Amino acid sequence: MRLARLAMKRLACLYAIVGAVALAAVSFGAEGTTRVLIVTGGHAFEEGPFFQLFRDNPDIAFVAAEHDGASATAWERDDLATFDAVVLYDMPRSITPAQQGKMRSLFERGAGLLVLHHALVSFQDWPDYERIIGGRYPQPPAGHPQVSDAVGYQHDVDVPVTILDTRHPVTAGMKDFTIRDEIYWGFRVGGDVHPLLGTTHPKAGKPLMWTRTEGKSRVVFLQLGHDRHAFDNPNFRDLVARSIRWSARRSGGTMTPRMATCGTFSVVGVASRIGRGSESPELFARICVSRFDNIGRGATARADSGRP
């Protein structure tokens, strides 16, 4: 009878291994290349080094789209539904109702959104945009000082960056770092954002990076990214790549737990860690095999001693 129970436990464990590995593979493995739309326009930038950081990312295929200057014309593309994620590095002043509708269509189907640096300033007269991205830099009207104690920016600052969430897939495993970049202060931050990065710089606005959910979509904002000092920084590059991957749900997402046991060992916790990217399916398999080996040794010892 003990041997039969042990055999059943071994079988259950093998099912758990297969199920967890298959679930992780379905949710996070072999999804193919992530299609990314990179939107610019309304603000000058160093195009060569900026686009190079995306060319150096082997996991994505990107298309660059620039607004024509009158409004947010990049949103008028007919192929918007083909992209897994959109990166905003633009700063247009106006957006038509039709263009707003095109942007909102992203959130109806769950496409990822990464908002970089000066895109925090876009669409000053569209309140929904502030909610969508989780904040706004309130640009002073023309004729007013653009830099003051209340709101402003400063270039070429050595910014100390602190990791606020060491468990989130976008920042997990990263260490605090310093980057030469532009800082903003006086920007507003929504109450429903989840902060990822901060800074100890006394003048810089905080946080430097956050996430939120809009409809079915994951939204990431990163305040860093002014010029080649940032574009060439390995930490910035890593953050951009991770943000695209996470927002597009390519890896590091939250898996739906499926209850399975290995002996007395529940795999739900490990399966969720696989989903967050902090546990591999292979590691789970080793844990489970080790656990049922221990069960087997215990059952053998009890049988030899006559104990139940």
Q: Mean per-residue pLDDT for 195-223?
A: 98
19 lies in which domain range? 2-27+254-305
Q: What is the CATH number of the domain that holds 100?
A: 3.40.50.880
- 74 and 133 part of one domain: yes
Judged by average pLDDT, the poorest of 24-33, 92-101, 146-155 is: 24-33
pLDDT reported for residue 69:
80
Whether the predicted pLDDT of 298 surpasses 80:
no
Residue 6 or 267, more confident: 6
Task: Please state, for a pLDDT cut of 90, what percent of the chain lies above it.
Answer: 69
Q: How many domains does the chain have?
A: 2
The DSSP annotation for 160-210 comes to EEEES-SSSTTTTT---EEEEEEEEES-EE-TT-EEEEEE--SSS-S-SEE
- 260 and 296 part of one domain: yes
By DSSP bridging, strand 34-41 and strand 60-66 are parallel
pLDDT reported for residue 142:
86
pLDDT reported for residue 119:
98
- 136 and 258 part of one domain: no
- 83 and 201 part of one domain: yes
Amino acid 11 reads L
Structural element, H or E, at residue 301: helix 281-305
DSSP assignment, residue 117?
Answer: G
Give the pLDDT confidence of 217-273 residue by residue, as tens digits: 999 999 999 999 999 999 999 999 999 999 999 964 333 333 333 433 333 334 333
- 108 and 176 part of one domain: yes
* Band of residue 10 on the pLDDT scale cut at 50, 70, 90: low
Whether the predicted pLDDT of 139 surpasses 80:
yes
* Band of residue 32 on the pLDDT scale cut at 50, 70, 90: confident
* Band of residue 33 on the pLDDT scale cut at 50, 70, 90: very high
pTM: 0.73
CB burial readout 67-104, b (16+ within 10 A) else e: beeebbbbbeeeebeebbbbbbbbbbbebeeebbebbe
- 265 and 243 part of one domain: no
CB burial readout 184-220, b (16+ within 10 A) else e: bbebebeeebebbbbbebeebbbbbbbbbebeebbbb
- 259 and 242 part of one domain: no
- 116 and 218 part of one domain: yes
What spatial distance separates the first Cα and last Cα of the chain, rounded to whole Å? Answer: 11
Q: Mean per-residue pLDDT for 123-139?
A: 97
Q: Decide: helix, strand or coil at residue 129.
A: helix
pLDDT reported for residue 31:
58
pLDDT reported for residue 251:
66
DSSP assignment, residue 76?
Answer: G
- 13 and 115 part of one domain: no
Q: What is the mean pLDDT of the chain?
A: 81
**CA pair distance 166, 179, nearest whole angstrom:** 19
- 165 and 284 part of one domain: no
Task: Please give the backbone phi and psi of residue 27, each rounded to the nearest 5 degrees, phi first.
Answer: -80, -35
- 101 and 128 part of one domain: yes
**CA pair distance 240, 246, nearest whole angstrom:** 10
- 128 and 190 part of one domain: yes
